[in-house]
Amino acid sequence: MAQKYPIEKVRDIGIIAHIDAGKTTVSERVLFYTGVSHKIGEVHDGTTVMDWMEQERERGITITAAATTCFWTPSYAKGDKAFEHRINLIDTPGHIDFTVEVKRSLRVLDGAVVVFDGVSGVEPQSETNWHYADDYGVPRLCFINKLDRMGASFENSLQSIKDRLNPNAIPIQLPIGIEAGFEGLVDLLRMKAYYFEGNNGETIVEKDIPENLKESAAKHHEALVEKIVEQDDDLMHKYLEKHEITLAELKKALRKGVLSLKIIPVLTGTALKNKGTQLMLDAVVDYLPSPIDLPPTKGTNPNTGAEEFRKPDDNEPFVALAFKVAADPFVGALTFFRVYSGTLKKGTYVLNSTKDSQERIGRIIRLHANHREEIDEISAGEIGGLVGLKDTSTGDTLCDPEHPLVLERIDFPEPVISARVEPKTKADQEKMGMALRRLAEEDPTFRVSGDPDTGDTIIAGMGELHLDVLVDRMRREFAVDAKMGRPQVAYKETIKGSAEAEGKYIKQSGGRGQYGHVRLKIETQERGAGFEFVNAIKGGAIPNEFIPAVEKGVIEAATRGVVAGYQLVDLKVTLYDGSYHDVDSSEAAFKIAASMGFQEGVRNSKPILLEPVMKIQVIAPADFLGDITGDISSKRGRIEAMNDRFNTKVIDAQVPLSEMFGYATTLRSITQGRGNFTMEFDHYDEVPNSVAQQIIEGKKK
């Protein structure tokens, strides 16, 4: 298996789906047909190979973005190994609380297969993930799954993709039959019918298109060819002059259209009933990019600040992105990384250019679904795992120390929810700190802190389920039993105005004195700008050695705002004057003076409370529309859009997170169990005065 693959025969792809659309089942079938696993594992048995973690099996959702390598020779090549490709499958989760996993996988994959449930078509989460994939410019194929299900409709699902995701979606297959009568597929390029025989559909049989589908297939074929020839001027001429266009020419132009995101091919089938997965893999090979089809990777040289590019070439300097650190039960920390250029050899040293530290490359492994292969080197375009890195977290760049480069970081949202965690016993207490630290290293949207008043441990993340899962993992993987308190909204504070303030900490009676004195200017910044400290001291009013202490004092004070003690964000602090004493001044005195001055300044700059506002989408039958929108309004929500989808209404709204606790239950009772919703963080917004009063009161209790 260690043969070296030419880079053009590598595909780094992900399967993206709404939860329950069948991503796990599709991945399973991929591993089965590519020969990695020899037994088909059903999701409901909890035996799937992709879902490593026990609790994922129980919950039936895939949380980790594990990467798996497999090999595929397209079915049309009839076993000719010259056509074999290496597919690195990067697993992505469907649940909204794990957005971060989707984002980080999108950052490193080159192409994606988006799986839809053939009964429900486009669902809210598919939409969210689709837009992320747009942000990262990821070429895509659509796979409409579950055509065997009662109520499945290829046409409706296709229409929902065109209407809600991209009008350039176009079928390259048609189903033969539907629901229990779903038998096979028409390939609209080859104009042939394919059936899947044998116990697991492994034998593909080619036949003529059935009589009743000939007309429709011809119509779709025509539309597809028209769309494809638009991608290539020469082909367009040929087409207009009615010359024959070969299959190879069509495939080549279709590939071009997919790579430039101008065409989204739509395929279909049923993973569970073993129809269509192999042809989907053929399309991955034929139409999704290899690493070499992508533009060179951009980064910043940390020494010069200049932008530099690296081509996906083994002879370029090595650069890779660590896209996931997983606490692995067998090897400890396992760092998944993607090589963008150059090669990495075992036993060498690399630079972690994000942290400016050195890492030794002990073991490089390639992950297959059910075994790990140790390899000596890994090349551009590949995905692998590293064992035993000391200091590398998710999003860090690893590179050739002689040619330092920092790749663009993965951008992660701030946590919006927090809860206390209490260890059950003294022994748990001791292990909990380490366990939480490890989990936080893995997941940049998970934070751990201590409550300075009570000494309690506080965890923060992207949603209730996110925190639940982490507490659960602590128990399973680290044997730490802990109880999580009621989740709280992660409010923040900021200021609307600006002020100048003075902080003095002077004690000069008896013994060694204290002398710190600063003048600060505090200004509001635009939302999301973060926190900025500027040193504008001139003429040595405060000696340089004390400036870091001033900054530290301000940063520490900013962790506890003046309204209700929440983190202060989006402000700029300028240190512009002050004074010192030759003997009595110390770092400690300046730190205290800075923190006092800062707090006073904040008090005088119209401090306000901010709350996370969520984007929600509710789907329910039209009968319940009035009750749903009324309830959203009573939750301080704002309706953004109401649309029809098949027989249901889709309501998009923004609602403060604090109003959304228990919404699943509310919605169920409003809609007699027929409504669904998804929710994700959108932005922080000012809390209205009356509500702010309640939060402040609540905090005092």
Least separation, in Å, of the C-beta of 179 and ligand GDP? 9
Query: Looking only at residues 273 through 292 of this chain, which bind ligand GDP when binding is defined by CB under 6 A?
Result: 273
DSSP 3-state assignment of 687? coil
- Cβ proximity to ligand GDP: between 91 and 110 the closer is 91
The DSSP output letter for 275 is: B
Here the tokens at position 219 are 């119509």
Neighbours of 116 (CB within 10 A): 26
- Could you tell me which stretch among 55-63, 166-174, 421-429, 517-525 binds ligand GDP (CB under 6 A)? 55-63
- Cβ proximity to ligand GDP: between 109 and 339 the closer is 109
Least separation, in Å, of the C-beta of 91 and ligand GDP? 9
- Could you tell me which stretch among 59-67, 397-405, 434-442, 444-452 binds ligand GDP (CB under 6 A)? 59-67
Least separation, in Å, of the C-beta of 146 and ligand GDP? 4
Structural element, H or E, at residue 219? helix 211-229
Query: Looking only at residues 246 through 275 of this chain, which bind ligand GDP when binding is defined by CB under 6 A?
Result: 270-273
20 contributes a contact to ligand GDP by CB under 6 A: yes
Radius of gyration of the chain (CA): 29
Give CA–CA dist 467/610, Å, rounded. Answer: 22
Q: Which of 439, 331, 340 is nearest to 393 (CA)?
A: 439
Phi and psi, residue 634, nearest 5°:
-70, -15
Q: Which of 444, 443, 448 is nearest to 421 (CA)?
A: 448
What residues form DSSP beta bridges with 111?
13
Binding ligand GDP (rule: CB under 6 A), the pick from 37, 62, 290, 605 is 62
- Cβ proximity to ligand GDP: between 25 and 457 the closer is 25
Give CA–CA dist 12/3, Å, rounded. Answer: 17
Q: Which of 67, 624, 582, 28 is nearest to 368 (CA)?
A: 67
19 contributes a contact to ligand GDP by CB under 6 A: yes
Least separation, in Å, of the C-beta of 465 and ligand GDP? 14
| Cβ-proximal residues to 389 (8 Å cutoff; 6+ apart), any chain | 322, 333, 335, 352, 359
**Residue found under tokens 């889709």:** 650
- Could you tell me which stretch among 56-64, 190-198, 360-368, 525-533 binds ligand GDP (CB under 6 A)? 56-64
- Could you tell me which stretch among 57-65, 181-189, 438-446, 524-532 binds ligand GDP (CB under 6 A)? 57-65
Binding ligand GDP (rule: CB under 6 A), the pick from 24, 64, 599, 605 is 24
Q: Which of 223, 202, 210, 126 is nearest to 175 (CA)?
A: 210
- Could you tell me which stretch among 13-21, 32-40, 158-166, 613-621 binds ligand GDP (CB under 6 A)? 13-21
Binding ligand GDP (rule: CB under 6 A), the pick from 5, 59, 60, 134 is 60
Phi and psi, residue 141, nearest 5°:
-120, 150
- Cβ proximity to ligand GDP: between 31 and 253 the closer is 31
- Could you tell me which stretch among 17-25, 158-166, 363-371, 402-410 binds ligand GDP (CB under 6 A)? 17-25
- Cβ proximity to ligand GDP: between 57 and 431 the closer is 57
Give CA–CA dist 503/557, Å, rounded. Answer: 12
Least separation, in Å, of the C-beta of 15 and ligand GDP? 9
Phi and psi, residue 89, nearest 5°:
-95, 120
Give CA–CA dist 617/650, Å, rounded. Answer: 7
- Cβ proximity to ligand GDP: between 119 and 405 the closer is 119
Instruction: Kindly determine how many residues on this chain lie close enough to bind ligand GDP according to the rule CB under 6 A.
Output: 22
Check if the beta carbon of residue 122 is closer than 8 Å to that of residue 160. yes
- Cβ proximity to ligand GDP: between 91 and 316 the closer is 91
Least separation, in Å, of the C-beta of 462 and ligand GDP? 19
Strands 332-341 and 383-387, how do they pair? antiparallel
Neighbours of 456 (CB within 10 A): 13
17 contributes a contact to ligand GDP by CB under 6 A: yes
**Residue found under tokens 């073993």:** 274
- Cβ proximity to ligand GDP: between 41 and 516 the closer is 41
39 contributes a contact to ligand GDP by CB under 6 A: no
Q: What binding mask, one character per residue, do residues 128-167 give for ligand GDP by CB under 6 A, x or -?
A: -----------------xx-xx------------------
Binding ligand GDP (rule: CB under 6 A), the pick from 39, 44, 527, 699 is 44
126 contributes a contact to ligand GDP by CB under 6 A: no
What are the C-alpha distances in Å from 278 to residues 106, 481, 537, 590? Answer: 23, 44, 67, 68
**Burial (CB count within 10 angstroms: exposed 0-12, middle 13-18, buried 19+), residue 629:** middle
Virtual torsion, Cα 264, 270, 272, 278, nearest 10 deg: -60
Give CA–CA dist 615/678, Å, rounded. Answer: 8
173 contributes a contact to ligand GDP by CB under 6 A: no
Structural element, H or E, at residue 145? strand 140-145
651 contributes a contact to ligand GDP by CB under 6 A: no
Binding ligand GDP (rule: CB under 6 A), the pick from 10, 13, 40, 43 is 43
- Cβ proximity to ligand GDP: between 273 and 603 the closer is 273
- Cβ proximity to ligand GDP: between 40 and 410 the closer is 40
- Could you tell me which stretch among 15-23, 249-257, 327-335, 373-381 binds ligand GDP (CB under 6 A)? 15-23
Give CA–CA dist 291/229, Å, rounded. Answer: 25
- Cβ proximity to ligand GDP: between 60 and 317 the closer is 60
- Could you tell me which stretch among 54-62, 341-349, 623-631, 688-696 binds ligand GDP (CB under 6 A)? 54-62
- Cβ proximity to ligand GDP: between 148 and 316 the closer is 148
Give CA–CA dist 629/680, Å, rounded. Answer: 18
- Cβ proximity to ligand GDP: between 17 and 448 the closer is 17
Give CA–CA dist 367/396, Å, rounded. Answer: 20
**Interacting residues with ligand GDP (CB under 6 A):** 17, 19-25, 43-44, 60-62, 94, 145-146, 148-149, 270-273
